[in-house]
Amino acid sequence: MTTTLTSADAAPADAASTGTGPRRTRRRRGRGANDPVGGAGASILLWGYAVLALAPLVIMVLNSFRTNADFITNPLGLPTSPTVAAYEEAWTVGSFGTYFANSLTVTAGAVAISTAVSTMAAYGLARGRARIFRWLESLFLSGLMLPIHLAILPVFFLFDGFGLIDSRLGLALMYAAAGVPFSIFVLTTFFRQLPEELEEAAVLDGANAWQTFWRIMVPMVRPALATVAVFRFVPIWNDFLYPLVLLRSESKYTLPVGLTNFFGENATNYSALFAGLVITTIPLIVLFLFATKQIVAGLTAGMSK
Amino acid sequence: MKTRTGLAFLAPALILFGVFVLYPMLTAFSYAFYEWQGTSRQGFAGLSNFSALVNRAPFKTDLPRALLHNVLFFLGTMLVQNTIGLTVATLLHRRARTRRMLQTLYAMPYLVSPIVIGYLWTLLLSPTFGPVNQLLTKIGLEQFALPWLGDPKTALWVVILVSVWQWVGFPVLLYGAALGGVPEELTEAARVDGASHGQVFRRITFPLLVPAIGTVSVLTFIFAMEAFALPFAFGGSTGNPAGSTDFVSLLFYRSAFDSGAVDAIGTSSALATVLFLIIFGGAMAATKVLRRHERRMAS
């Protein structure tokens, strides 16, 4: 799917990540010059670094299946008799069940709202001819690099005025708005690549603008929608400052804030802490396994200025 | 498409973005120029909130220290992350079979919340039960089994290295993509002419990577100046131990929500404005330099 993403910028990314294209043909005539750099020594280095990248996460998972007493007597040990006691404790006593549900509601809600309004806007921007559309497009794109966390005080008072303090809906709306620039940026380029004959045919068949958009255009950009949704999910799920400031009651905390709460009160209950960390991380790992392509595409889409 | 129809498609996004991003962003600046009594806004204050950042406690002592930590965070991350990122991307290049797999593995920590990363490494580096020190002792390196996070001299560097560990998959990916865009005719021709691998890298590959390195630098700069969640997990809102992991965002959070000062909103907004100008100015300047480099290469 990456081949359709942001023309010039993603093209090298795609060639690099799939290893197809010109490289295949060159392999035959290039002697020596095209061998992997560094040979076997480099392979060891690369796999060694992979171990370094993953070991802390593996240790986190392994220790979450041990009891606290087991961990304290031998911090380097393996879960020889694995137990889910730590998870039960974190989920119920540590309220991670509540935090998990809150995080899921807020993140899924924000991604849905953000993707919906951005898809509409991107279509308008891609097809609008008047000058105002160019102006609006640069307005949205200026938001790509805004450090929005610095606006937390005005956001706080805005929410206070709307009665949105300590509200999961408010938090979701905030995240949805923050995701608009990136989503519009990716989706507009996709819409621009679709031939206008599609819409002209639909109009001849008597479809109005909304029907054309919903029935014809949206299905065509489905891969881009997946990229945008998946890629936005991660930072919202992980965000810390907004829920820290905007949420008050423990029953509404999202996972990062709930984790901080739990960490402060149970600093020596190591196995439950490890379980809490795993609970906070697992949805992202699952997402990653199912949508590696979308996440990699999102990362390289961010590189185009 | 008719202009009116197009604007109708844009309206929902425009309202959402305007209310929750643009409006707060713009008012954030105005807050800094007013006098504040608790949450009620008084008269125009000129630049007095800004001068408080230089003259008054706690800013007088905490702000230069926090800013220094942000700069060290940026420089340290740049140095280590780019070295590892470039090396790994170069070694991965042409490994068609394993590259995708390894890139994916390196990118895994990027997914994890900075809060989780901070707490995880706090547990791993815990002086008594931490697996890291246990391992060091076991393999005969007791002299390195130190309370790395408890010592003000080393804590900042732990934060920096952990951050690099989390983010290194990103430059590996970007540099990998940029390397894929280097025309092989160029490097092959140079090799045929007798250039060594090192010469090819220095004279051909590296100059073509500069735009990617620039992009990574700009993003790292913004990221380093905004650092909040990771240091919060390591040292709380006060940058323990002894303020050695304090950052400007933490200082902002403390002065806005924890200080209890009567004019907290004014001074903390001034601080946010300064930080915004640093981030924005730095990013703009770097982008300008990059554009110039690109034009030079194109001609």
Among A11-20, A73-82, B227-236, which range has the highest average pLDDT?
B227-236
**Please, which pLDDT band fits residue A91 given cuts at 50, 70 and 90?**
very high
User: Does position A102 have pLDDT exceeding 90, yes or no?
Assistant: yes
Residue that the structure tokens 């961990």 belong to: A71
Q: Give the model's pLDDT for residue A300.
A: 65
**Please, which pLDDT band fits residue A8 given cuts at 50, 70 and 90?**
very low
CA distance to partner chain B, nearest, from residue A130 (Å):
6
CA distance to partner chain B, nearest, from residue A236 (Å):
10
Q: Which residues contact B293 (CB under 8 A, 6 or more apart)?
A: B210, B211, B214
Domain enclosing residue A188, as ranges: 97-301
Q: Which residues contact B287 (CB under 8 A, 6 or more apart)?
A: A305, B214, B218
Report d(CA B161, CA B76) in Å as an integer.
8
Q: Which residue of A has its CA nearest to B194?
A: A33
Of B93, B102, B253, the CB nearest to A37: B93
Contact B129 A75 (CB under 8 A): yes
CB burial of residue A284 (10 Å; 0-12, 13-18, 19+): buried
Domain count, chain B: 1
Give, for all 299 residues of chain B, the pLDDT tens digit: 788 999 999 999 999 999 999 999 888 889 999 998 888 888 898 899 999 998 988 899 999 999 999 999 999 999 999 999 999 998 888 787 788 888 888 888 888 999 999 999 999 998 888 888 888 888 888 888 888 888 888 999 999 999 999 999 889 988 988 888 888 888 888 888 888 888 888 888 888 888 888 888 988 999 999 999 999 999 999 988 889 999 999 999 999 998 888 888 999 999 999 999 999 898 888 888 888 887 877 76
* CATH number for B189: 1.10.3720.10
Q: Which residues contact B11 (CB under 8 A, 6 or more apart)?
A: none
Of A35, A57, A127, the CB nearest to B94: A35
HSE, CB side, 13 Å, CA atoms: give it for residue A283: 19
Report d(CA B40, CA B265) in Å as an integer.
9
For residue A65, being part of any structural domain is answered with no
Contact A124 B131 (CB under 8 A): no
- For residue A239, the SS3 value is coil
Expressed in angstroms, the distance from the first to the final Cα of chain B is 39
Pull the structure tokens for residue B74. 């940026």
Q: Span A9-21, mean pLDDT?
A: 39
Contact A57 B215 (CB under 8 A): no
For residue A84, being part of any structural domain is answered with no
CA distance to partner chain B, nearest, from residue A33 (Å):
7
Of A118, A129, A148, the CB nearest to B13: A118
Name the residue type at position A207: A
Handedness of CA A278, A284, A289, A292 (dihedral sign): negative
Handedness of CA A122, A124, A127, A131 (dihedral sign): negative
Task: Give the Å distances, CA to CA, from A157 to A11, A246, B16, B30, B265.
Answer: 44, 10, 17, 14, 11
Q: Which residue of A has its CA nearest to B94?
A: A36
Residue ranges of B 70-129 with Cβ closer than 8 A to chain A: 84, 88, 90-96, 98-100, 102-109, 111-116, 119-121, 123-124, 129
> Among residues A230, A133, A124, A125, which one has the least CA distance to residue A179?
A230
Name the residue type at position B2: K
Phi and psi, residue A242, nearest 5°: -60, -50
User: Does position A103 have pLDDT exceeding 90, yes or no?
Assistant: yes
Tally of helices (H runs) and strands (E runs) in chain A:
16, 0
Q: Which residue of B has its CA nearest to A24?
A: B96
Q: What is the mean pLDDT of chain A?
A: 83
User: Does position A3 have pLDDT exceeding 50, yes or no?
Assistant: no
**How many A×B Cβ pairs under 8 Å?**
292
Report d(CA A295, CA A300) in Å as an integer.
9
For residue A213, being part of any structural domain is answered with yes
Q: Give the model's pLDDT for residue B121.
A: 94
Domain enclosing residue B275, as ranges: 51-298
Q: Give the model's pLDDT for residue A223.
A: 84
Domain count, chain A: 1
Contact at 8 Å (CB) between A125 and A188? yes
For residue B3, being part of any structural domain is answered with no
Q: Name the percent of chain A lying above pLDDT 70.
A: 84
> Among residues A93, A77, A263, which one has the least CA distance to residue B119?
A263
User: Does position A11 have pLDDT exceeding 60, yes or no?
Assistant: no
CB burial of residue A43 (10 Å; 0-12, 13-18, 19+): middle
Handedness of CA B21, B23, B24, B29 (dihedral sign): positive
Contact B177 A16 (CB under 8 A): yes
Q: Which residues contact B77 (CB under 8 A, 6 or more apart)?
A: B160, B163, B164, B167, B220, B223, B224
Q: Give the model's pLDDT for residue A13.
A: 38
For residue A190, being part of any structural domain is answered with yes
Report d(CA B166, CA B152) in Å as an integer.
22
Q: Give the model's pLDDT for residue B51.
A: 92
Q: Give the model's pLDDT for residue A41.
A: 81
Residues of A in contact with B108 (CB under 8 A): 53-54, 57, 285, 288
Of A53, A146, A302, the CB nearest to B109: A53
Report d(CA B23, CA A162) in Å as an integer.
14
3-state per-residue secondary structure call for chain B = CCHHHHHHHHHHHHHHHHHHHHHHHHHHHHHCCEEEECCEEEEECCCHHHHHHHHCCCHHHHHHHHHHHHHHHHHHHHHHHHHHHHHHHHHHCCCCCCHHHHHHHHHHHHHCCHHHHHHHHHHHCCCCCCHHHHHHHHCCCHHHCCCCCCCCCCHHHHHHHHHHHHHCHHHHHHHHHHHHCCCHHHHHHHHHCCCCHHHHHHHHHHHHHHHHHHHHHHHHHHHHHHCCHHHHHHHHHHCCCCCCCCCHHHHHHHHHHHCCCCCHHHHHHHHHHHHHHHHHHHHHHHHHHHHHHHHHHHC
For residue B33, being part of any structural domain is answered with no
Residues of A in contact with B1 (CB under 8 A): 124, 127-129, 209
For residue A234, being part of any structural domain is answered with yes
* CATH number for A289: 1.10.3720.10
CA distance to partner chain B, nearest, from residue A147 (Å):
7
For residue A145, being part of any structural domain is answered with yes
For residue A101, being part of any structural domain is answered with yes
Of A16, A123, A146, the CB nearest to B176: A16
Q: Which residue of B has its CA nearest to A196?
A: B1
CB burial of residue A117 (10 Å; 0-12, 13-18, 19+): buried
For residue B46, being part of any structural domain is answered with no
